[in-house]
Chain A
Amino acid sequence: MPGGTTGSARKETRHGARGIHGFGTVGMTATLALLGALINLTGPGHFIDWGFIQLSVANFVVICLMVVTFVAAILLPLPSRRSHHDD
């Protein structure tokens, strides 16, 4: 029925899709499908080949994340309870 939802469908949405554990199977499946659509993990992996340096793209991404984390840890201030000392 276009433009509307029947009472039984509403009930199914409230109880069937959410399931008894809150998030529900449908929500979980949709989330996984969304994540899977972002990165295609089907097929052979991708590799970087710079002369004698050969590494997978996945490892390269992790290394880049570590560098970003390292720089952020140095530059960003650490939250502190300074107000406690300012009293």
Chain B
Amino acid sequence: MTISPPRPADDSPSAIRPEDAGQWTAKLRGTAVEALPPERLLPDRQPAYVASAIYVFGVLTIAALLLVIATGMVLAIMGPSWWHVSSTGLFVNSLHLWSVEVFFFVMVVHLWGKFFMAAWRGKRRLTWITGVVTFVVSVGAAFTGYLSQQNFDSQWISTQAKDGINSTGAGAVFNVLNFGQMLMWHIVLLPLVVVAIVGLHVLMVRRRGVVPPFALDEASVGATSATDEVTPATVEATPAGADTDGGPA
């Protein structure tokens, strides 16, 4: 039995003993803490420019996504006979549909807002790209969802879509007439991808900060990193209670 030596003087959770510095766990932990220190991961205050309604739509998108996932899990547990016949099932099915509608609605407004802010500025390219990829993958997730309804609507959509998909050559591996395949894409593969990319997107927002307005960005010219975030005197911190963009930026 090995007895661990006492921890180093710096007893923080990320402290690395010199003899452990070569281990991959220590390296990974050190890199992660350096990139996303707790105070940046869960900040208490935000720049003043975040106090605008246009910054709300990122976190609204995440809220809608959570509702989509929660209602989808209930539908997966209970099955088609429940969501088509019982009143509660119809209600949850409608919640699933309308939360998707809200998800896309607020995500598009969020996308427009970030596009006109040129939100890829300040080393935020990966933030922008993960947002775009999330949008595209979400379209696929919604499409396979419509194919998984188990009703005439899904039959109509699949028979209309097959020609388009086949014309791209993708029909050999993505057969919209194969219900089992479409269901698995809808409830396993695509949700995993969406959640993973959204998670990365949010981490990138936390790492780089919310993109500043153009004028403030020009004021920050000379900053060595976008993570130094715009701390010009003109920007006042605002309480986290007014933080409106915990989500994609």
| Chain A residues near B (Cβ < 8 Å) | 62, 65-66, 69-70, 72-74, 76-78, 80-81, 84
Contacts and interface: CB of A to CB of B under 8 A. Distances in A.
Given A66-B105, A66-B108, A73 B53 contact: yes
Contacts of B57: 73
Nearest to B242: A80
Chain B at the A interface: mostly helix, strand, loop or mixed? helix
A66 B106 CA distance: 8
Nearest to B236: A85
B105 A81 contact: no
A37 B108 CA distance: 30
Given A80-B242, A81-B239, A81-B242, A70 B109 contact: yes
B136 to A, nearest CB: 18
A66 B54 CA distance: 12
Contacts of B113: 70, 73-74
Most buried by A among B101, B109, B239: B109
Contacts of A65: 105
B85 to A, nearest CB: 19
Given A66-B109, A69-B109, A74 B54 contact: yes
Interface residues of B, number: 17
Given A62-B105, A69-B109, 9 more contacts: A65-B105, A70-B54, A73-B53, A73-B109, A73-B113, A74-B52, A78-B53, A78-B244, A80-B242
A73 B54 contact: yes
B56 interface: yes
Nearest to A78: B53
B185 to A, nearest CB: 24
A80 B52 CA distance: 10
B108 A73 contact: no
A79 to B, nearest CB: 9
A29 B51 CA distance: 42
A70 B110 CA distance: 8
